[in-house]
């Protein structure tokens, strides 16, 4: 939080304040939105929550996405997320002006609302394109799937939380840095990521895959991608993100995961780490 405050103070001095700030609830854990909102409101910055990982999670006793401390919240309904519509997502807001603008963006910028039109309507069939919008609507089939999935959200998240608690308990004695929750957080546990403290990540990754454990790595820092390096970003610009990337390993976690499957992951990880002591 101190680093963000310093960045905003510097940007204000240079008259380069951003119009919006996007806060990412990584792996399902909510950022400290009260503190961030207090900072951004000082500078009139629009605050957006990227909750693609966090649907079903909680922050200070309220569901992530309620927008109490933000202007908008973005959700993902990709198949690996808390719930799915096969593809697509949603934007949530309590701001009526943003809501109207979002509706226009989602439907080619077309409206049938006379209050948004220029001039008079020709009749009940009449519409106008008042924005350069897109086609961002879910189909009826995707929406129907999403509604049925939404009814199962609580049980999906409850299962993820149970699996995460078991990982925390049974991996505590290994040379790993485990994810943790602050008192204001109750994660949706989209991902369960550990950091290797002593071991070569590539060797551990390969060995686990040989044992049939589908671990993964999330994520390669964006500023290391060629597109952003062409814009002037370079290695070393964000050392915390780079350090995390070089040590991170994502363990399998999904609502249908059985206790036996998780036990296999834990025993395999224990075997690999103890065999490969630094």
- Per-residue model confidence as pLDDT tens digits over 69-85: 999 999 999 999 999 99
pTM, two decimals, is 0.92
* 120 and 172 together in one domain: no
* 241 and 169 together in one domain: yes
* 261 and 146 together in one domain: no
Instruction: Show the DSSP H helices in the chain as ranges.
Output: 2-13, 33-42, 96-106, 140-150, 153-170, 201-210, 226-229, 239-247, 259-275
* 249 and 171 together in one domain: yes
* 81 and 97 together in one domain: yes
* 15 and 129 together in one domain: yes
In total, the chain counts a number of residues equal to: 278
* 133 and 187 together in one domain: no
Final residue of a structural domain among 115, 150, 185: 150
Final residue of a structural domain among 114, 130, 150: 150
**How many separate domains does the chain show?**
2
- Give the number of other CB atoms < 10 A from CB of residue 80: 10
List the structure tokens of 235: 């290695």
- Per-residue model confidence as pLDDT tens digits over 50-70: 999 999 999 999 999 999 999
Q: Do the beta carbons of residue 69 and residue 96 sit within 8 Å?
A: no
Final residue of a structural domain among 132, 150, 168: 150
pLDDT at position 37 over 60: yes
- Per-residue model confidence as pLDDT tens digits over 85-113: 999 999 999 999 999 999 999 999 999 99
The CATH number given to whatever domain includes residue 195 is: 3.90.1150.10
* 180 and 134 together in one domain: no
* 140 and 53 together in one domain: yes
* Residue in 19, 38, 81, 101 annotated catalytic: 81
- Give the number of other CB atoms < 10 A from CB of residue 197: 12
The CATH number given to whatever domain includes residue 72 is: 3.40.640.10
List the structure tokens of 72: 């908008």
Q: Is 206 a catalytic residue?
A: no
| Residue range(s) defining the domain that contains residue 50 | 2-150
pLDDT at position 278 over 90: no
């Amino acid at each position: 939080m101190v680093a963000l405050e310093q960045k905003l103070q510097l940007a204000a001095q240079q008259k380069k304040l951003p119009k919006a700030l996007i806060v990412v609830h990584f792996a399902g854990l909510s950022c400290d939105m009260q503190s961030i909102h207090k900072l951004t409101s000082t500078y009139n910055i629009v605050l957006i929550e990227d909750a693609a990982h966090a649907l079903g999670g909680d922050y200070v006793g309220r569901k992530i996405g309620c927008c109490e401390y933000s202007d908008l919240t973005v959700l993902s309904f990709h198949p690996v997320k808390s719930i799915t519509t096969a593809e697509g997502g949603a934007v949530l807001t309590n701001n009526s002006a943003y809501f109207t603008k979002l509706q226009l963006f989602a439907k080619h910028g077309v409206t049938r609302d006379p209050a948004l039109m220029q001039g008079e309507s020709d009749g009940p069939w009449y519409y106008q394109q008042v924005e350069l919008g897109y086609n961002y609507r879910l189909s009826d089939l995707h929406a129907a799937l999403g509604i049925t999935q939404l009814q199962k959200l609580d049980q999906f998240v409850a299962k993820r939380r149970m699996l995460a608690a078991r990982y925390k308990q049974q991996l505590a004695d290994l040379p790993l840095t485990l994810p943790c929750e602050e008192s204001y957080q109750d994660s949706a546990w989209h991902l369960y990521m550990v950091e290797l403290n002593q071991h070569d990540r590539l060797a551990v990754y390969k060995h686990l895959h040989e044992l049939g454990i589908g671990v993964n790595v999330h994520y390669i820092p964006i500023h290391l991608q060629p597109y952003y390096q062409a814009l002037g970003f370079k290695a070393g610009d964000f050392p915390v993100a780079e350090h995390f990337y070089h040590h991170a390993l994502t363990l399998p976690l999904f609502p249908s995961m059985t206790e036996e499957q998780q036990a296999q992951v834990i025993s395999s990880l224990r075997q690999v780490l103890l065999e490969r002591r630094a």
